[in-house]
Chains A and B, each alone.
Chain A
Amino acid sequence: MQIDPAQKDLVQASPTQGGAVQGGAVQGGAVQGGSSRYRFGYSEDSLYSQLMSLVERHLTGGGLVVDIGCGWGAVAERCREIGLDYLGCDVDPEGLVDLSNRGFETALMDVSDVRSFVELLHRQVKGRKVAAFFLLDVLEHLVTGKQLLMALATLAAAGPETTTYHGARLVMSVPNVAHYELAAKLLMGRFDVTPSGLLDDTHVVFYTSRRLEEVTRRAGWMELARDDFVMYESDQRFPPEAAMLAPSTPLRQFLAGIRQAADGFAFVNQFVRIYTPANPPVPAAPVTEGVGVSSDVGGLPSRPILDKQSFTNQVFATVLVRTTGSRMGTLHDTLLSLAAQSYDDFEVLVLCHNTPAQVFDAISNLVSQFSPTFSNRVKVVAVSGGGRSRPLNAGISLAKGRYTIILDDDDLAFPGWMAEFHRLADIWPGMVLRLGVAEQHMEDQPGPGGKLYYHAISRPRCPYPKKFDLLSHLHENRTPPCALAYPTPFFQYLGFRFGEDLPVLEDWDILVQAAELCGVADSMEVCTLYRHWNGGDQSTAIHAPAEWMETRQEILSRLESRPILLPPGYVREVHKLDDLERICRRLHNERTRLLAEVAKARQQGVGVEDSASGNARANQAATLASAVAGLDTTRGRPAGTVDISGTTPQGLGYASWADVAAALAAELVQVKSSKGWRLTEPVRAAGKAARRLAALFAPRR
Chain B
Amino acid sequence: MQNRVLEYYKVLQLPSMRVQVILYSQPEDVVESCIESISVSLGNARSKRLIAGSSIILGDCSGSPCLANATVERMKEDATAAGIDHLEYTHFGRNLGFGGGHNRLVEGAHEDLLLILNPDTYSSPLLVEEMVSACQDASVGIVDAKQLPLEHPKSYDPVTMDTSWALGACMMIRTSVMTGIGGFDDKSFFLYCEDVDLSWRARLHGWRVVHQPHAKIFHDKHLTGDGMFVPAETEPENSAESSLVLAYKYSRDDIVDKMVDAFLHSPAHFHRKAVNRFNQRRLSGDLPARIDQDHSVGQFVGFDFAEHNFSYAD
Contact = CB atoms under 8 A, between A and B. Distances in A.
B223 A438 contact: yes
A438 B229 CA distance: 11
B310 A457 contact: yes
Contacts of B40: 369-371
A524 B225 contact: yes
Contact of B149 (A332, A370, A412, A446): A412
B223 A526 contact: yes
Contact of A415 (B37, B218, B224, B227): B218
B162 to A, nearest CB: 12
A371 B229 contact: no
A339 B37 contact: yes
Main secondary structure of the interface of A (DSSP, over half): mixed
Given A332-B124, A445-B158, A371 B310 contact: no
B148 interface: yes
Contacts of B148: 333, 336-337, 412
B227 A526 contact: yes
Residue from B122, B311, B314 having most chain A Cβ neighbours under 10 A: B122
Given A371-B37, A451-B214, A459 B220 contact: no
Interface stretch (A137-145, A460-468, A557-565): A460-468
Contacts of A329: 214
B234 interface: no
Interface string A406-420: 000000111100000
Contacts of A466: 225
Interface residues on A, range: 35 or more
Given A333-B216, A336-B216, A369-B125, A414 B151 contact: no
Contact of B314 (A332, A370, A459): A459
Contacts of A459: 153, 227-229, 310-314
B16 interface: no
A414 B221 contact: yes
Residue from A454, A462, A524 having most chain B Cβ neighbours under 10 A: A462
Contact of A337 (B125, B126, B149, B153): B149
A140 B133 CA distance: 70
A453 B37 contact: no
A481 interface: no
A336 B122 contact: yes
B310 A462 contact: no
A456 interface: yes
Contacts of B225: 436, 462, 466, 524-526
Given A333-B216, A370-B40, A445-B158, A526 B309 contact: no
Interface in A366-413: 369-371, 373, 412-413
Nearest to A456: B151
A438 B151 CA distance: 14
Contacts of B312: 459
Contacts of A332: 124, 126, 216
Contacts of B153: 456, 459
B63 interface: no
Interface in A189-222: none
Contacts of B188: none
Interface string B288-314: 000000000000000000000111111
A445 B159 CA distance: 10
A453 B158 contact: yes
A108 interface: no
A458 interface: yes
B214 to A, nearest CB: 7
Contacts of A369: 40, 44, 125-126
B180 interface: no
A340 interface: yes
B33 A340 contact: yes
Interface in A512-529: 524-526, 529
Given A336-B218, A447-B158, A456-B151, A462 B124 contact: no
Interface string B103-129: 000000000000000000010111000
A191 to B, nearest CB: 51
A455 B226 contact: no
B150 interface: yes
A526 B221 CA distance: 11
Contacts of B313: 459
Contacts of B124: 332, 336
Nearest to B121: A340
A454 B313 CA distance: 21
B206 interface: no
A460 B125 contact: no
A461 B88 CA distance: 42
Nearest to B213: A453
A448 interface: yes
Interface string B56-97: 000000000000000000000000000000000000000000
Nearest to B41: A369
B159 A448 contact: yes
B149 to A, nearest CB: 4
A699 to B, nearest CB: 13
Contacts of A525: 225
B258 interface: no
A339 B229 CA distance: 22
B159 A413 contact: no
Interface in B189-241: 213-214, 216, 218, 220-229
B185 interface: no
B186 interface: no
Contacts of B310: 456-459
A525 B230 CA distance: 12
A354 to B, nearest CB: 25
Contact of B309 (A456, A460, A524): A456
B151 A455 contact: yes
B155 to A, nearest CB: 8
A369 B46 CA distance: 12
Interface in B23-42: 29, 33, 36-37, 40
Contacts of B309: 455-457
A605 to B, nearest CB: 43
A337 B218 contact: yes
Contacts of A373: 36
Interface in A493-542: 524-526, 529
A7 to B, nearest CB: 59
A340 B151 CA distance: 16
A369 B227 CA distance: 32
B87 to A, nearest CB: 16
A373 B39 CA distance: 13
A525 B126 CA distance: 30
B123 to A, nearest CB: 9
Given A333-B148, A447-B158, 7 more contacts: A340-B33, A342-B29, A369-B125, A447-B159, A448-B159, A462-B225, A526-B225
10 nearest A-B pairs in the assembled complex, by CB-CB distance:
A340-B122, A340-B218, A369-B125, A462-B227, A412-B149, A526-B223, A460-B227, A438-B227, A371-B40, A461-B227
24 contacts: A332-B124, A336-B218, A339-B37, A340-B37, A370-B125, A371-B36, A414-B221, A414-B223, A415-B122, A415-B220, A438-B227, A445-B158, A447-B161, A451-B214, A455-B213, A456-B309, A458-B310, A458-B314, A459-B228, A459-B311, A459-B313, A460-B223, A462-B225, A526-B223
Interface of A: 329, 332-333, 336-337, 339-340, 342, 369-371, 373, 412-415, 436, 438, 445-448, 451, 453-462, 466, 524-526, 529
Interface of B: 29, 33, 36-37, 40, 44, 122, 124-126, 146, 148-151, 153, 158-159, 161, 213-214, 216, 218, 220-229, 309-314
